[in-house]
């Protein structure tokens, strides 16, 4: 969080301006309610390969349908985007009516829904609980 104080004449109170990025305030929520913080660029999987300048996030997967390096999620400054990194069981985005849209591997897709599946593991992109 960046905080800047603007100096004004004495008859005005100082205003504190806070810069908040939705990218740094989001988490992935698993079906059991556990939350995993995201950076602006994160590789998801069972045991994702390390990559410079990119966070890796190993997710527990009782379904055993996650690939080692499954997907990438990142914030482009406007939207969260999702990409299947050639996983065995795919990535799909869930609409409000629960219809699934399967993503093509290697294609960056802006998320229009906070819910998606990595294999059969359903996750939700959310603001963390207090």
97: exposed, middle or buried (C-beta count within 10 Å: 0-12, 13-18, 19+)?
exposed
Q: How far is CA 96 from CA 79, 89, 105, in A?
A: 18, 22, 23
- Work out how many domains the chain is built from and give that number: 1
Mean pLDDT of the chain: 84
How large is the average pLDDT for residues 96-122?
96
Structural domain includes residue 95:
yes
Of the pLDDT bands very low, low, confident and very high (cuts 50, 70, 90), residue 114 is very high
Q: What is the pLDDT of residue 35?
A: 95
Tell me the CATH number at 117: 2.60.200.20
Structural domain includes residue 53:
yes
Residue 76 has pLDDT above 70, yes or no: yes
- Structural domain including 54 reads 22-126
What tokens were used for 49? 């390969």
């Amino acid at each position: 969080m960046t905080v800047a104080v603007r100096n004004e004449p004495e008859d005005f109170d100082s205003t504190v301006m806070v810069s908040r990025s939705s990218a740094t305030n989001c988490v992935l929520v698993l079906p059991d309610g556990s939350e995993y913080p995201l950076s602006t660029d994160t590789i998801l999987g069972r045991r994702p390969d390390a990559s410079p300048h990119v966070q890796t996030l190993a997710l527990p997967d009782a379904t055993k349908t996650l690939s080692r390096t499954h997907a990438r999620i990142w914030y482009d400054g406007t939207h969260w985007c999702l990409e299947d990194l050639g996983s065995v069981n795919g990535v799909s985005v869930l609409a409000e009516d629960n219809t699934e849209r399967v993503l093509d591997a290697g294609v960056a897709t802006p998320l229009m829904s906070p819910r998606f599946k990595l294999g059969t593991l359903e996750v939700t992109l959310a603001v963390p609980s207090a």
